[in-house]
Amino acid sequence: MSLLQTLYGIFSFLGHYPGYAISYLIETVLYLIVISLFLIFMIYLFRKFMARLQLRLGPNRVGKFGSLQLIADALKLVGKESILPKERDDLPYRVAPMIVMVGLFLAFTILPYGSLIGIGSLTVTNSAVTLVLVFAVISIMPIGEVLAGVSSHNKYALIGALRSIAKDISFEVPMMISILAIVMMASARVPDSLSISSIVSAQFLPYAVLQPLGIFVFFTAMVARASYTPFDMGESDSELVSGYSTEYTGMRFAMFYVGLFGSILLGSMLVSLLYLSGYNGPLSTDVGVIWLVIKAMILVLISFTVWLSMPRIRIDKFVNFGWKYLLPISFANLIISGILTLGLGW
Amino acid sequence: MSELMQLNIGPQHPSTHGVLRLKVKVEGEIIREVEPVIGYLHRNAEKLCEMTYYCDNLVYFDRMDYVASMNMEAGYLEAAEKLLGIPPPERAIYIRTIMNELSRIASHLVWAGAFGLDLGMLTPFFYCFVQREKILRIFTEACGSRQETNYFSIGGVYQDLTPEIVDHVKAFITEFPRKLEEIYNLFAKNDVFIQRTKGIGYLSPEVAIQYGVTGPILRASGVPYDVRKAEPYLLYDRVNFDIPVSKKGDSLARFLVRFEEMRQSIRILGQIIDKIPEGPFFNPKAKKPLMIRLRGDGEVYARTESSKGEFGVYIVGDGGVKPYRVHVRSPAFKNLSILPVLAKDQMIADLISISGSIDLVFGEIDR
Q: Which pLDDT value is given to residue B191? A: 87
Interface test mutation site (partner B, options A239, A308, A313, A317, max chain B beta carbons within 10 A)? A239
**Mean per-residue pLDDT, B282-305:** 82
Q: Which pLDDT value is given to residue A128? A: 83
Q: Which pLDDT value is given to residue A254? A: 84
Contact between B104 and B265 (Cβ < 8 Å): yes
CB contact under 8 A, A308 and B347: no
Cα B266 off chain centre by: 16
Q: How far is A112 from chain B (nearest CA, A)?
A: 35
Q: Which pLDDT value is given to residue B17? A: 74
pLDDT in tens, B194-230: 988 888 888 889 998 999 899 899 999 988 888 888 8
Q: Which residues fall within 8 angstroms of residue B106, CB to CB, at 6 or more apart?
A: B67, B68, B132, B135, B136
Contact between A127 and A133 (Cβ < 8 Å): yes
Left if phi > 0, otherwise alpha if psi is -120 to 50, otherwise beta: which for A115? beta
Residues in chain B: 367
CB contact under 8 A, A56 and B119: no
B348 interface with A at CB cutoff 8 Å:
yes
Chain A contacts to B (CB-CB under 8 A): 50, 53-56, 155-156, 159, 162-163, 229-230, 232-233, 236-241, 308-317
Q: Which residues fall within 8 angstroms of residue A37, CB to CB, at 6 or more apart?
A: none
Q: How far is A41 from chain B (nearest CA, A)?
A: 21
Q: Which pLDDT value is given to residue A346? A: 60
Strands B310-318 and B323-329, by their bridges, are: antiparallel
Look at residue A209 and give its three-state secondary structure: helix
pLDDT in tens, A50-79: 888 888 888 888 878 888 888 888 888 888
User: What's the mean pLDDT when you consider all of chain A?
Assistant: 85
Percentage, residues of chain A above pLDDT 70? 98
CA B64-B66-B68 angle, to 5 degrees, is 105
- For A8-17, B71-80, B338-347, which range has the lowest pLDDT when averaged over its residues? A8-17
**Mean per-residue pLDDT, B13-38:** 83
CA atoms within 13 A of residue A140's CA, in its CB half-sphere: 18
User: What's the mean pLDDT when you consider all of chain B?
Assistant: 87
CA atoms within 13 A of residue A94's CA, in its CB half-sphere: 3
pLDDT in tens, B35-93: 888 888 888 888 888 888 888 888 888 888 888 888 888 888 888 888 888 888 888 88
Q: Does residue A26 have a pLDDT over 80?
A: yes
CA torsion sign for A111, A112, A114, A117 is positive
Q: Which of A53, A230, A239 sits opposite B348 (nearest CB)?
A: A239
Q: Does residue A317 have a pLDDT over 60?
A: yes
Q: Which pLDDT value is given to residue A1? A: 63
pLDDT in tens, B159-199: 888 889 889 999 998 999 999 998 999 898 888 889 888 88
Contact between A147 and A91 (Cβ < 8 Å): no
Look at residue A271 and give its three-state secondary structure: helix
Q: Which of A230, A238, A308 sits opposite B192 (nearest CB)?
A: A230
Pairwise CA distance, residues A196 & B40, whole Å: 58
Which residues of chain A have a CB within 8 Å of the CB of B119? Answer: 238, 311-312
Q: Which pLDDT value is given to residue B2? A: 63
Nearest to B94 by CA among B232, B263, B281, B264: B281
**Mean per-residue pLDDT, A134-145:** 87
CB contact under 8 A, A314 and B117: no
pLDDT in tens, B137-148: 999 988 888 888
Does domain B5-366 fall under CATH 1.10.645.10? My reply is: yes
Q: Does residue A284 have a pLDDT over 80?
A: no
Number of neighbours of residue B12 by Cβ within 10 angstroms: 10
Percentage, residues of chain B above pLDDT 90? 12
Pairwise CA distance, residues B209 & B211, whole Å: 5
**Mean per-residue pLDDT, B295-301:** 86
B195 interface with A at CB cutoff 8 Å:
yes
Q: Which residues fall within 8 angstroms of residue A42, CB to CB, at 6 or more apart?
A: A261, A264, A265, A300
**Mean per-residue pLDDT, B15-38:** 84
* Beta-carbon contacts below 8 Å between A and B: 84
